[in-house]
Amino acid sequence: MNPRARSFLPLPCAALLAAACASTSSNSGGPAATTAQAPAKNAAGPSASGLDLEGMDRSVKPGDDFFRFANGGWYDRTEIPPDRAVFGMFSILTELTAKRTADLIAEASKGDAPEGSEARQIGDAYASFLDEDRIARLELGPLRPTFRAVQAIGDQKALSRYLGGQLRADMDVLNAGRLFTDNLFGLWVAQDLDEPSKYSPFLLQGGLAMPDREYYLNPSQRMADLRARYTPHVAAMLKLAGVVDANAKAAPIVELERQIATVHASRTESSEVEKGNNHWTRKQLEENAPGIDWAAFLGAAGLDKQPVFVAWQPGAITGIAKLVGSVPVATWKDYLIYHALEHHSAVLPRAFVQEQFEFHGKALTGAQVQRERWKRAIDMTDLALGEAVGKLYVAKWFPASEKARAEQMVKNIIAAFGRRIDALDWMAPQTKERAKAKLAVLKVGVGYPDKWRDYSGLRVVRGDALGNFQRSEKFELDRALGRLGQPVDRGEWVMNPQLVNAVNLPAMNALNFPAAILQPPNFDPKRPEAVDYGAVGAVIGHEVCHSFDSEGALFDDTGHLRNWWTPEDFAHFKDSSNRLAAQFEAYHPFPDVHVNGRQTLAENIADVAGLAAALEAYHISLGGKAAPTVAGLSGDQQFFIGFGQTWRSKLREAALRQRLVVDGHAPPEYRADTVRNLDTWYQTFDVKPGDKLYLAPDQRVRVY
């Protein structure tokens, strides 16, 4: 994830791996032949109240297990679809969005759109990925130039040049919720933290094919078992490519990745903004990270004229550079062949697709079958032409009335958060003044960007799936490099409108709420507003509060990384943060592992403060009138149950264990239990001492 980007949701693991995993079966009929709807036994069933009353379990006291109270009936009768590692409310919304997007793309893929138009680009990209027969006929031909370039590496300088040529602008680092890329380094061109008026290039750690350093270093039996399965996977990928002595080469490749993992910063360390803000001049880069020929690397990357870089994980950059200079070039060449196969596997013949899924799908996440080809084709098309697809999506599915309704909700929540700041008895007037100044200039994007991205420079060739993928990556790199030296655009979006998620960019002091998260069943004009405020209102409140969480609070209203708090106020904030971290550390999804309270702290702060702001905003929306009772439920009960049902989710054990390692968000059931920190929740559901979720008033973490 972008060091300064905080998203509301982790993407489901199956989506995270969509570019790397594929199915053995072809979808010859395309989207029209397939339904994206979940099986009936998995479907949510909202009533006229806007809530799934049958999905609740009223035999459970809200104060004992709020997640089960809101979702127990749904949870017990729901089976995770075999092509998924996780299923829940946002999965349903994602499936709905995928089907709608598929219909729009299918129309564009007929081939009759004007040459050079965005519709033609979209259609050609989508049709190329769907054409498995052509991909099979081409075999590894499209990847041969990459293999030849690797084989031509003769020394450390040539190796550095090749590695620099593989540097990419890693939008996927944000969208997949990762802190590193499978390339040796990742690049993010973004607003500088010390000089907010300019862009800087941020260098991020990379080089691993498994999800996180813990998969290489954690001594647990589960991780050891996965490592034992990983080496045969590496060998299998090499064998499929016809690499001689594949078995003998696999172990050194895995060992090299293990050495890279040892120098990687942990996820918790990587999210500590002040530790990541390291400005290195070109000379310091060479002095601090010897082993790479940086002149060759940066020249190939298009950064040879850049004087300063931000080394986000400096220890990792130093350690990886040392490995480039010390590990034999022959081992690096084998590693690069394997990584090329991994990186491009989605657009390679079927055998590579299946092998990828066997490890990255089944072993790592527990998914039983691969997602249908057309769904993965949508993912790939979104990756290449996301805003162009989004333009089609919002024109069809996001009416101006819903944009206006969401913008009014944003306005109410920002007002509520401002009131909450004013009411804080522990915050000094000067700190409140700076906090309110930051709130006043918050840039909120609802639905879609004010200015659409121009894709006219991207060459898309029908029938060239791998080439399209490579050219789209290079297009993103060139676009990112083109920002350097330009004025900072606070209106730029980092998420596509058709993505079911939301994001806060603390340095930009900007928020994105894509259209796809602002649609039924998550945001519905036909249901009581109390439910929408509990669902989408909490999302909006969450993102607003990210500007004031354990990371966002470090940025002032201009995006400058500096402490604008009084020492006493910041000490109080840190104490509240520590207590919230301890609260989540006590949650044990499995006997042998607990939630990492520090790793999930920023998200947990945003959940608590955002939910409180959303509740107050709901009360503002009533305009002094009494909240209507619906289905025997008060307005506040509707609000809280709406929040709880937003978090209905069921995960396979492997997927949940993976998230506990790599994700900055707590598991959904514990996010639902955030309610235990709000006084109003106790009154609304008559929660008393002795109830399992009960916290004494002085133990409730209010933050804001």
CA–CA gap between residue 269 and residue 313 (Å, rounded): 8
| Secondary structure element (H or E) that encloses residue 504, with its range | strand 503-505
CA–CA gap between residue 476 and residue 461 (Å, rounded): 17
Domain 140-348 in the same topology as domain 6-17+19-103+376-699: no
Residue 203 carries which DSSP code? E
Helices (DSSP H) in 48-205: which residue ranges?
66-77, 89-108, 118-130, 132-138, 144-151, 156-165, 171-175
Q: What is the layout of strands, in order, in the sheet containing 503-505?
A: 6-7, 503-505, 510-514, 443-447
Q: Under 8 Å CB-to-CB from 383, ≥6 apart: which residues?
A: 19, 172, 469, 472
Structure tokens at 269: 């360390």
Which homologous superfamily does the CATH classification assign to the domain defined by 6-17+19-103+376-699? Answer: Collagenase (Catalytic Domain) (3.40.390.10)
Determine contact, residues 104/388, Cβ cutoff 8 Å: no
CA–CA gap between residue 548 and residue 704 (Å, rounded): 9
Structural domain boundaries in the chain: 6-17+19-103+376-699, 140-348
The predicted structure's pLDDT at residue 45:
57
Burial of 76 (0-12, 13-18, 19+ CB in 10 A): exposed
The predicted structure's pLDDT at residue 507:
85
The predicted structure's pLDDT at residue 180:
52
Other CB atoms within 10 Å distance of the CB of residue 290: 14
**How big is the CA angle at 248 (ends 21 and 350), to the nearest 5 degrees?**
25
Task: Give the phi and the psi of residue 300 in degrees, each rounded to 5.
Answer: -70, -25
The model's pTM is 0.86
Q: Using only C-alpha atoms, what is the Rg of the chain?
A: 25
CA–CA gap between residue 511 and residue 492 (Å, rounded): 10
Dmax (CA) of the chain: 76
* Per-run averaged pLDDT (10 residues), the chain, 704 residues: 44 24 30 33 58 96 98 96 91 93 88 87 96 97 97 97 91 43 91 93 95 94 95 98 97 98 92 92 97 98 96 97 98 98 97 96 92 93 95 96 97 96 95 94 95 96 97 95 92 93 89 95 93 96 91 89 92 95 96 93 94 97 94 97 96 92 92 97 98 97 91
The predicted structure's pLDDT at residue 552:
86
Please tell me the number of Cα atoms within 13 Å of 396 on its side-chain side. Answer: 16
The predicted structure's pLDDT at residue 173:
42
Determine contact, residues 202/188, Cβ cutoff 8 Å: yes
Nearest Cα to 544, choosing from 451, 616, 487? 616
The predicted structure's pLDDT at residue 202:
95
The identity of residue 441, as a single letter, is: V
Fold of 140-348: Neutral endopeptidase; domain 2 (1.10.1380)
SS (H, E, C) 444-460: EEEECCCCCCCCCCCCC
Nearest Cα to 523, choosing from 634, 642, 630, 615? 642
| Secondary structure element (H or E) that encloses residue 469, with its range | helix 465-483
